[in-house]
Amino acid sequence: MRLIVSLLAFLFIATSALPRTASADSEGYKLGPGDKIRVTVFGEPYLSGEFNVNANGTVSLPLIEPVPVAGITLSETEGLIKQKLAAGFMEDPKVSVDILSYRPFFIMGEVSNPGSFPYMADMTVLHAVAVAGGFTPRAAKKKIFIQRGTQSAIPAQNNTVVQPGDIITVEERFF
């Protein structure tokens, strides 16, 4: 039994050093409301699970107060959860955080089905338009804008990369 526990500990530590399957952390992806994460606390299945980042940017985990994760990376989230668990519950917690699903993106304006859609990795504006049913006949295909977070809307092209939470607007042409 001790051998199995040691082997599992080795595998957990070895795999936590591997690059994440979703390239979000390597690109500095910051968590936000609507994201879904998996928190794994080695040897503590009742502390592990799948959690949603709620509207105020926190994640509610067992035994500890809500963890503010909006605007921080997966690695920073791991560190914050470790710190909170170590502050009274565990001596040296081993924590891993992975993203299960990203917050949706939004598209409005001259597309067939404007609305909110699930984000997919490596999505471009053209992919987003296709997901929304394509351009309407009145769409100004060269007047597309993206708003990210609190930034002002910036011009976008068909090959512009879409990020989770982006708001895409396709303008109307007049002639």
Tens of pLDDT along 114-163? 999 999 989 999 999 999 999 999 999 999 999 998 889 999 999 999 99
pLDDT tens per residue across span 62-110: 989 899 999 999 999 999 999 999 997 789 999 999 999 999 999 999 9
What pLDDT was estimated at residue 8? Answer: 39
Provide the whole-model pTM.
Answer: 0.74
Q: Which of 101, 135, 159 is the last residue of a domain?
A: 101
For residues 20, 21, 27, 28, the Cα torsion angle rounded to the nearest 10 degrees is -50
What pLDDT was estimated at residue 119? Answer: 93
Q: Which of 84, 101, 118 is the last residue of a domain?
A: 101
CATH of the domain at 81: 3.30.1950.10
What pLDDT was estimated at residue 28? Answer: 81
Residue 9, helix vs strand vs coil: helix
Rounded to whole angstroms, how far apart are CA atoms 41 and 49?
9
Please tell me the total count of domains within the chain. 2
pLDDT tens per residue across span 20-73: 334 444 458 899 999 999 999 999 999 999 999 999 999 999 989 899 999 999
User: Is the same domain home to 135 and 116?
Assistant: yes
- pLDDT at residue 9 tops 60: no
User: Is the same domain home to 96 and 109?
Assistant: no
Looking at residue 30, the DSSP 8-state letter turns out to be -
The answer to whether 55 and 154 are in contact (CB under 8 A) is: no
What pLDDT was estimated at residue 149? Answer: 83
The answer to whether 162 and 127 are in contact (CB under 8 A) is: yes
Q: Which of 83, 101, 119 is the last residue of a domain?
A: 101
User: Is the same domain home to 26 and 71?
Assistant: yes
What pLDDT was estimated at residue 18? Answer: 31
User: Is the same domain home to 64 and 78?
Assistant: yes
CATH of the domain at 145: 3.10.560.10
User: Is the same domain home to 127 and 146?
Assistant: yes
- pLDDT at residue 19 tops 70: no
DSSP tally for the chain: helices H, then strands E = 3, 10
User: Is the same domain home to 32 and 63?
Assistant: yes
- 131, 130, 142, 128: which is closest to 172 by C-alpha? 142
| pLDDT band, very low/low/confident/very high, at 14 (cuts 50, 70, 90) | very low
Residue 69 Ramachandran class (φ > 0 left, ψ -120 to 50 alpha, else beta): alpha
Domain enclosing residue 118, as ranges? 105-172
